[in-house]
């Protein structure tokens, strides 16, 4: 049975689409048939990070409106055999997503044997975001370690607990917290919240801590999910997060100040 995972956040710019690309790629690389859906109608970015924007012919809204079949809109990833992308429309309004239409697409994907359906949600609580989180079995709430991001994430958690399909059925969405752009050095200086501070505020199970890293921007610009870069700390941290998602007990790395090696001290290199 397919597991529907929404990747969501209270505010934009926290690394949500980067996370959707990395988590879906990681699951596929572990052998799980996975699809990632862009719910950000009108402002799609997932296809750029996945380097498939030139291959988009039909999109999510075309499938909902029965202007194309699902298999016509799905794009097979070039790096992971088990991964497919369902892009968003750039020309439609967010209201083009209907609850009935989204449900039908999710059911068809489940029938096609997908084990994981990753829903890349727009930020906030507008219509597209609600459509992405409504059917979720599991939620990955992405937050930066700063007060406004954490506060907005708390609001998203409240919506998951009250307005999702599982909430309507008297059940709970399985919630995870992913902290991005984390710098232990800045925490030590009092410039950002520590992991413990964020956990205490949100009271949500920690899936991973992604360190602030130039490799994330570099990977995005190249159209390569950063999880493929296992030389970078960010790539390793996302791989650890995928392991935890699959039930492995993996210790959190990159949460304390690391002693730099000789080359890093000499040249100031950053992973």
Per-residue pLDDT at 48: 92
Give the strands of the sheet with 138-143, arranged side by side: 75-76, 83-86, 34-38, 116-120, 3-8, 138-143, 174-182, 205-211
Per-residue pLDDT of the chain (271 residues; tens, 9 = 90+): 899 999 999 888 899 999 999 999 999 999 999 999 999 987 788 999 999 999 999 999 999 999 999 999 999 999 999 999 999 987 776 678 899 999 999 999 999 999 999 999 998 888 889 999 999 999 999 999 999 999 999 999 999 999 999 999 999 999 999 999 999 999 999 999 999 999 999 999 999 999 999 999 999 989 999 999 999 999 999 999 999 999 999 999 999 987 665 455 555 555 5
For residue 181, count CB atoms less than 10 angstroms from its CB and return exposed for 0-12, middle for 13-18, buried for 19 or more: buried
Strands 75-76 and 83-86, by their bridges, are antiparallel
Q: What are the distances in angstroms from CA 144 to CA 46, 97, 151, 208, 215?
A: 20, 28, 10, 12, 17
Q: Which residue has the tokens 């409106």?
A: 65
Question: What whole-number distance in Å separates Cα of residue 196 and Cα of residue 156?
Answer: 20
CA distance 3 to 167: 16
Give the C-alpha separation, 95 to 128, whole Å. 7
Angle at 176 between CA 138 and CA 202, to 5 degrees: 130
CA angle, 116 then 121 then 125, to 5°: 135
Q: Where are the beta strands (DSSP E) in 51-201?
A: 75-76, 83-86, 116-120, 138-143, 174-182
* CA 219/CA 229 separation, integer angstroms: 8
pLDDT, residue 95, reads 73
Q: Residue 124's pLDDT is what?
A: 81
Q: Cβ distance 233 to 183 under 8 Å? A: no
Amino acid 79: pLDDT = 94
β partners of residue 138? 5, 174
Torsion-angle region of residue 15: left (phi > 0), alpha (psi -120 to 50) or beta? left
Q: What is the pLDDT of residue 260?
A: 61
> SS3 sequence, 42-82?
CCCCHHHHCCCHHHCCCCHHHHHCCCCCHHHHCEECCCCCC
Distance from CA of residue 193 to its chain's centroid?
Answer: 21
């Amino acid at each position: 049975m397919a597991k529907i995972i929404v990747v969501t956040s209270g505010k934009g710019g926290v690394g949500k689409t980067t996370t959707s690309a990395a988590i879906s790629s990681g699951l596929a690389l572990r052998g799980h048939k996975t699809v990632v859906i862009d719910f950000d109608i009108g402002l799609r970015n997932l296809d750029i990070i996945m380097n498939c924007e030139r291959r988009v012919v039909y999109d999510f809204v075309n499938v909902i409106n029965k202007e194309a079949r699902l298999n016509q809109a799905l794009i097979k990833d070039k790096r992971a055999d088990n991964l497919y992308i369902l892009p968003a429309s750039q020309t439609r309004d967010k209201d083009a997503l209907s609850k009935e239409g989204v449900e039908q697409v999710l059911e068809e994907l489940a029938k096609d044997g997908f084990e994981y359906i990753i829903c890349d949600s727009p930020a906030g609580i507008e219509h597209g975001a609600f459509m992405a989180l409504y059917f979720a079995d599991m939620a990955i709430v992405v937050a930066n370690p700063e007060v406004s991001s954490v506060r907005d994430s708390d609001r998203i958690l409240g919506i998951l607990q009250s307005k999702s399909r599982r909430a309507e059925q008297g059940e709970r969405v399985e919630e995870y917290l992913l902290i991005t752009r984390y710098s232990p050095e800045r925490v030590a200086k009092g410039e950002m919240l520590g992991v413990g501070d964020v956990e205490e505020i949100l009271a949500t199970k920690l899936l991973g801590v992604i360190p602030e890293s130039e490799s994330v921007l570099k990977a995005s610009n190249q159209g390569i999910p950063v999880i493929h870069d296992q030389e970078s700390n960010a790539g390793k941290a996302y791989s650890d997060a995928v392991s935890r998602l699959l039930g492995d007990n993996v210790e959190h790395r990159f949460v304390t100040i690391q002693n730099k090696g000789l080359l890093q001290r000499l040249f100031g290199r950053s992973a």
